[in-house]
Structure 1
Amino acid sequence: MPWLSDDMSTGTLLTGTILNALGILIGGLIGLNRNRQLSQSTQVALRGIMGVITVYVGLRLTVMGLNGSAGQVLKQVAILLLSMTLGRIIGRLLRIQSTLNRLGQHASQSFAKSRPEDPNRISEGFTLCTLLFCAGPLGPLGAVADGLSGYWQPLAIKMVMDGLAAMGFVSIYGWGVVLSAIPVFIYQGTITLGVQRLEPFLSQNGLLDSVNVVGGMLVFCVALIVLELKKLQLADYLPSLAVAPLITYFWR
């Protein structure tokens, strides 16, 4: 599959974010013109396929960041473990996952109460779907990978997930779901453009591989959640992306 090729420089500016926004737009437009939802069996099959692809995308990013002699690889693995441990501690102190959980619960409760005849359904759909599509950890993870390495594949996975969700929600919320692609584009695009400014410094100081290794492992953990193999407080690990280059810089 060409979109899973080993050339990590093939992505252009904001490729992943553009794909993600297009996924929401296309999913919403298809949903507006569909009279019935996807069957349960189809949804399960798609979840399995996306989970397997996510495993590959995450592990490939991690493995491509592990290079050098055996001793250097062992050092990188040690930095990975230490970064994820310290990152999780920081994430728990900042209550990242618990905050996102509250946002998700608010969105879920609002979804359950909503009806197609609600006069405010478009504005509610815009707000709730924006929360839903921005609250997950795969968004910032993919935006960072896209900005640092042109590795847009994690956001391509999110494109499919968000597109399928938009297809289902649009029957209740109408055009509000489609419009939520705009804040998703702004949110993830801002992250991508921000980390692109850090890329020269990280590359010149040999720090980029550590970010890729940690980012790939976190994407792999997303697959465990998608496949419902393990529940993880994954957002609490996001600070690991900042901890990894710091440890690498001082561990010379």
Structure 2
Amino acid sequence: MAVIKNMSNSAYPDLFIISLAIGGILGTAIDLDGKFNKLVGKYSKTNLGQGLSTAIILFCFGILSILGPIESALNQNNTYLFTNATLDLVTSLVLASTYGIGISLSALVLFIWQGSIFLLAHQIAPFLTSEFMTEISIVGGFLILASGLSILKVKSFNTLNLLPSLLVPTIMVFAHSLIRRFL
């Protein structure tokens, strides 16, 4: 699991808690989950909204979904993309068996997400330090864990409301690198 694996490598071990707290407050204030479910509810009377939000988080915020397009763009190595595609295919089949064929809509979001990362890879590469990837992996891993617990009905999370949590380590690591650069 990304949270446990990367925690020992974290330069800021409490950052993920701060990220989840700040991100959760922002996401709840904006009501990302409610707005998303309302939008999906216009087109579906099933629990497709929960399925799509789970699929989007699982497909977009895993480490392979971020590293895959970067590795492909910078080094012409598609191994991570193919591995991620295989994992996403299996996961989407499982999700579709529960939430229906509408899960295929998450492919559009994934295409835009990974396509954007691929196109921006050369510009963002200097910011993608191991420190940044560790902190993002911890928060992203927690979001994936929360989605899994919601699917299993162990604990219900409005995981979309936690998405702004990914901005906190991004801002923190970027600010820290700027400070180090000027000092």
**TM-score relative to the length of structure 1:** 0.52
1:159 aligns with 2:92: yes
For 1:242 and 1:157, locate their aligned partners in 2 and report how far apart those are by CA, in whole Å.
29
1:248 aligns with 2:173: yes
Q: Give CA deviations for 1:117-152 in whole Å, capped at 9, x if unaligned.
A: xxxxxxxxxxx97x675x314414422323323473
Report 1:1-252 matches (<5 A): 60-68=1-9, 73=10, 75-107=11-43, 109=45, 135-145=52-62, 146-150=64-68, 152=84, 155-156=88-89, 158-165=91-98, 177=101, 181=104, 183-196=105-118, 197=120, 200-204=125-129, 206-251=131-176
> Is residue 144–residue 195 contact of structure 1 (8 Å, CA) maintained in 2?
no
Which stretch of the first structure deviates more once superposed, 137-146 or 220-229? 137-146
| Superposition deviation, residue 103 in structure 1 | 3.4
For 2:57 and 2:166, locate their aligned partners in 1 and report how far apart those are by CA, in whole Å.
10
RMSD of Structure 2 on Structure 1 (CA):
3.2
Structure 1 residues 137 and 107: CA distance shift in structure 2, 3 A: same
> Is residue 88–residue 236 contact of structure 1 (8 Å, CA) maintained in 2?
yes
Query: Partner amino acid for 2:2?
Result: L
Q: Give CA deviations for 1:51-108 in whole Å, capped at 9, x if unaligned.
A: xxxxxxxxx222333344xxxx4x5331100111111122122220111232354455
Structure 1, gaps ≥5 residues long: 1-59, 112-127, 170-176
Residue correspondences, number: 158
**TM-score relative to the length of structure 2:** 0.68
Query: Partner amino acid for 1:147?
Result: S
Structure 1 residues 230 and 95: CA distance shift in structure 2, 3 A: same
Report the secondary structure of 1:206's partner residue: helix
Q: Looking at CA atoms only, which structure, 1 or 2, has the larger radius of gyration?
A: 1
Report the secondary structure of 1:77's partner residue: coil
> Is residue 136–residue 169 contact of structure 2 (8 Å, CA) maintained in 1?
yes
Q: Give CA deviations for 1:204-230 in whole Å, capped at 9, x if unaligned.
A: 473111111100011111121122111
Q: Give CA deviations for 1:169-218 in whole Å, capped at 9, x if unaligned.
A: 5xxxxxxx48x73x432221111222343562332473111111100011
Structure 2, gaps ≥5 residues long: 69-79, 178-183
Structure 1 residues 139 and 155: CA distance shift in structure 2, 3 A: farther
